[in-house]
Amino acid sequence: MRTRNTAVVAAMCAGLAATLAGCGGDGGGEDPDAGTNGVGKLPAAKIEARARKAAGDAEAVRLSGKLVTKGRTYKVDMRLKTDGGTGQVSTEGSTFQLLRVGKDLYLKADAGFWTHKSEGSGGGQSSADAAAADKLDDKYVKVPVGDPSYKRLSGLTDKSLLLDGLLGLHGEISTGGRGTVGGVRTIRIRGGEGSGGALDVSLKGRPYPLRLQRAGDAGVIRLADWDKDFTLAAPDKGDVVDYGQQIPSGT
């Protein structure tokens, strides 16, 4: 009888093993953190702190996606590092390239961009405006530091400023589910149960933030190429044209 009872118990244990992680309590289930960097075991606030530190320590990053700020939507694809950045920005039907090396900020766009800006300033487009737009076509324009557009545009090329502003979650931070971003296993942390934004953090290597859902539907950003260096240099003098007046405020 004892032998039969033992066999029955063993069969029950085998049937329930997947749900109960085995009889006897030795935890036969697969460890979800096996082979990871271990941050998935941490409280959400510590995961956020580790992700922000990894981002701050990195020398470079590629940031792409959509940002909604002050009622304007920007589609961005920027490569950033500590001393500047370069990439493309689109907003309200306009597309332009930005390049910042140290404090020197350059903007490059086609003639259509400058024609549109000229028309948007009121009074239509004159023949002089058209000639100026042709002169600026596919050339870099150096944005003066004192120009009203400088602060706004340079902010899109500033790694520290952008990451500090983007990575903060709002509300009480909690841990969400696990998933993958670009084939890399991640752990999600959320602010305010998701209403305050969500951040997917890498479970491989350094805990870099890989995907950000901003609070209030203010855009989704992918972060990649962490610590991958790239060339950042001022354009040749022959590729730089003086705009000759204040950069259009609609930029």
pTM to 2 decimals?
Answer: 0.79
Per-residue pLDDT, averaged over 123-151, amounts to 77
**Strands 240-241 and 84-91, sheet pairing:** unpaired
Q: Dump the DSSP string for the chain.
A: -HHHHHHHHHHHHHHHHHHHS-TTSS--SPPTTTTS-SGGGS-HHHHHHHHHHHHHH-SEEEEEEEEEETTEEEEEEEEEETTEEEEEEEETTEEEEEEEETTEEEEEE-HHHHHHHHHHTTT---HHHHHHHHHHTTEEEEEPTTSHHHHHHHHTT-HHHHHHHHS---SSEEEEEEEEETTEEEEEEEEGGGTT-EEEEESSSS--EEEEE-GGG--EEEEE-TT------PPPGGGEE---SPPPTT-
Rounded to whole angstroms, how far apart are CA atoms 231 and 85? 10
Residues near 59 by Cβ (< 8 Å), separated by ≥ 6?
81, 82, 227, 229
Rounded to whole angstroms, how far apart are CA atoms 135 and 213? 40
Backbone angles phi, psi at 118, to 5 degrees: -65, -45
What's the pLDDT band for 208 if we cut at 50, 70, 90?
very high
- What pLDDT digit, counting tens, does each position of 141-182 carry? 999 988 888 998 999 999 999 999 889 899 999 999 999 999
| Nearest CA-CA partner of 57 in 226, 170, 231 | 226
> Residue 142 corresponds to which tokens in the numbers above?
């150096």
Separation in Å, CA 227 to CA 51, 83, 204? 14, 14, 14
What's the pLDDT band for 230 if we cut at 50, 70, 90?
very high
Q: How far is CA 214 from the centre of its chain?
A: 10
- What pLDDT digit, counting tens, does each position of 48-92 carry? 999 999 999 999 999 999 988 888 898 999 999 999 999 999 988
